[in-house]
Amino acid sequence: MLLTLRKYLFFFLFLSTLYACSDSRSKRSGKVFIEQKDGDFKLFRNGKPFAIKGAAGSEHLDLLSELGGNTIKTWDTTHIDSILKKANEANIAVIIGLPIPESKHMYFYNDDAKVASQFKAIKKLVNRVKDNPSVLMWCVGNELVFPHKPSYNKFYGAFNDIVDMIHSDDPDHPVTTTMINFQRKTIFNLKMRTNVDIISFNIFGRIESLSQELKDFSWFWKGPYLLTEWGIDGPWDGTAETAWGAKIEQTSTKKAEQYYSRYKEKMPVNDGRLLGSFIFYWGQKQETTHTWFSIFDDAGNKTEVVDAAEAIWKGKPLTTTAPKLNYMLLNSKGAKDDIFLKPNEKNTAEVLMLNGDVNVKRIVWEIYPEDWYKINNVNNTKKPLLIKGLIEHTQDLKVIFNTPIKEGPYRIFATVYDDKGYVATCNTPFYVLKTDEDSRASN
């Protein structure tokens, strides 16, 4: 019994020492460093406290600055020079993401030549841009898995070599890495086996429980952290879906409301360990649909979420002049009604505005196949091809369209424009199902 107690005491002292050492690593003396006082942490940049008000992406930097944002996080190392140039002009700080393969790709980490080549390329990049005034910190890898097993030692070796090289070559800027949601195992392994200065979370629906998770694990880890991606529920967050598995997307109006309310009610803004957060996604991207996370359209028109971001960063109520959508109906049915249609058949869809909103200049209707394409379980990043020739007639907020001939899952999208640079979006999934009679007719 006494021996067991001694083991627990030793383990506790070991963890306490580990925690103390890891925190001391966080405080640096360069241009950007973290200072700890009474359990709270502050990020300093050029000698002044710097609270990150960030967005993930690298576009629309002048607007970002105008709305109260001050930082971006980017994984685009190919165009990093032009990104840093624009960031300098807009007075925006940059976290530079350094993409590296996940730990599961041990074929890479067991190849010494590949690892050496990666290290050399990252070292060259770090030393080339480290003196740029917009550089805030480095993020080594995105949503990596940090396993326990010794068989992953070469992954840890490669990861730590990069982190240690940055600490040596660029002591002016801290180093972080990201994980999906709050994972105790990953936090434990990061503190036990790496030298990162800050732990970062990419978190969406799980932000609802983040404050409690942080509190429950504070007996082990009390270090500084970032939310390098946060936002509305992702398609993976228990989102409602149709009978055939198509995820049901909110309107851009409901998204703006969720961004704002989630920040006000669930973001741990009063936690002295939180250094800042990054709204996702400051640009346009394809992920399940081309509108799910896109805060702008591909022409640069802004959604209502932009106004939510400004309200968050400036600490003011959410107001907007953007077109406000209520929902879309397809043949008088909503997305949750599991809409099955026949091929090559006329149908009607309409958009209903909130509060009789008539701030509409034009509306564009489009039909795309459902995007389920993935490579290595990674979402497609290219928009599927638009199916042309299906829109027959539009009037006001209604459309008459023909369904595709080919059986399968589709979505009809409505994009509403005003004359002030705003765009509002919504879509409804449907399934084209051939009957035996349809099959005989096609033959």
Provide the 8-state DSSP code for 158: H
Nearest to 222 by CA among 283, 267, 155, 273: 273
Q: 297 with 415: CB under 8 angstroms? A: yes
Say whether both 189 and 90 belong to one domain.
Answer: yes
Q: How many domains does the chain have?
A: 2
Assigned domain for 340 exists? yes
Say if 225 falls within a structural domain: yes
Q: Are residues 308 and 341 in the same domain?
A: no
Evaluate if residue 25 carries a pLDDT over 90: no
Residues 396, 339: one domain? yes
Residues in a beta bridge with 43: 34
Question: Do 175 and 137 contact (CB within 8 A), yes or no?
Answer: yes
Q: Of 292, 314, 336, which residue is a domain's last?
A: 314
What is the rounded average pLDDT of the residues 69-81?
97
pLDDT tens-place string over residues 244-289: 999 999 999 999 999 999 999 999 999 999 999 999 999 999 999 9
Q: In this prediction, what percent of the chain has a pLDDT beyond 70?
A: 89
114 and 136 share one domain: yes
Mean pLDDT for all residues in the chain: 91
Within-domain flag for 2: no
DSSP string, 79-146: THHHHHHHHHHHT-EEEEEE----TT-HHHHT-HHHHHHHHHHHHHHHHHHTT-TTEEEEEESSS---
State residue 10's pLDDT score. Answer: 42
Question: Quick check: is 301 in a domain?
Answer: yes
What's the pLDDT at 375?
Answer: 60
C-alpha 425/C-alpha 252 separation (Å) is 5
Q: Which of 249-263, 376-390, 408-422, 428-442 has the lowest mean pLDDT?
A: 428-442
Same domain, 208 and 261: yes
Asked whether residue 11 carries a pLDDT value surpassing 70, the answer given is no
CATH code (residue 283) = 3.20.20.80
Q: Give the pLDDT band of residue 22 (cuts 50, 70, 90).
A: very low
Q: What is the pLDDT of residue 376?
A: 61
- Residue 358: what pLDDT? 64
Q: Is residue 305 a contact partner of residue 69, using CB atoms and an 8 Å limit?
A: no
197 shares its domain with 252: yes
Q: Can you give the pLDDT at residue 443? A: 52
Residue identified by tokens 């702008």 is 296
**Residue 379 confidence (pLDDT):** 72
Which single residue is written with the structure tokens 């050399």? 120
Higher pLDDT, 354 or 301: 301
Confidence of residue 378 (pLDDT cuts 50, 70, 90): low
* pLDDT at residue number 359: 72
pLDDT one-digit tens code per residue, 335-377: 999 999 999 999 999 999 987 666 788 999 999 999 986 666 6
Residue 30's pLDDT is: 57
DSSP string, 340-393: EE-TT-EEEEEEEEGGG----SEEEEEEEE----EETTEEP-SPPPP--S-EEE
Residue 5 resides in a domain:
no
Across 150-162, average pLDDT: 97
Which pLDDT band holds residue 438 (cuts at 50, 70, 90)? low
Res 421: pLDDT = 95
Give me the CATH number covering residue 428. 2.60.40.10
> In the β-sheet with 408-417, what is the strand arrangement from edge to edge?
340-341, 423-432, 408-417, 362-369
Q: Given 287, 314, 341, which residue is the final one in a domain?
A: 314
Together in a domain, 286 and 353: no
Q: Tell me which of 295, 314, 333 is where a domain ends.
A: 314
For residues 271 and 351, state if they share a domain. no
**Residues 288, 352 within the same domain:** no
Domain that holds residue 430: 325-442
Residue bearing the bigger pLDDT, 381 or 374: 381
Task: Tell me: do 275 and 399 sit in the same domain.
Answer: no
pLDDT of res. 361: 86
Would 13 be classed as within a structural domain?
Answer: no
More confident residue, 216 or 375: 216
Asked if the structure places residue 10 within a domain, the reply is no
CA atoms of 337 and 103, how far apart (whole Å): 42
**End-to-end Cα separation, the chain, in angstroms:** 81
Residues 71 and 198 in one domain: yes
Query: What mean pLDDT do residues 228-236 have?
Result: 96
Domain contains 437 = yes
Helices (H), 194-304: 210-216, 252-266
- 332/310 same-domain check: no
